Amino acid sequence: MRRMKLSDLQAQKRQMFIEMMQRGALKRLPRTRPRDPEEEQVLNRLAHLRWNRWLQNGTLVILAPRRWRLNLPPENE
């Protein structure tokens, strides 16, 4: 069996991982563990507050009952 330094093996594996990510061979898997109910409530509340803030300052415009437009500022600001 060929001997190899651990650092060399890690570098080789890291390079293989980067190449696979660039090719799109590896995808991030969806979360499989259910969220804590309290965490889910907090995230839903934060999303609701953000939605309402966007409505108030005009960032979010409701076009129809199931259509909306999000006006984002340019990235260079």
pLDDT of 38: 96
3 state SS of 1: coil
What's the CA gap between 59 and 75, in Å, rounded? Answer: 15
**pTM exceeds 0.95:** no
CA atoms 50, 52, 56, 59: torsion sign: positive
3 state SS of 53: helix
**Strand ranges for 1-77 from DSSP E:** 60-64, 67-70
* One pLDDT digit (tens) per residue for the chain, 77 residues: 678 788 888 888 888 888 887 887 777 777 788 999 999 999 999 999 999 999 999 999 999 999 999 998 887 65
pLDDT of 1: 67
pLDDT in tens, 67-76: 999 998 887 6
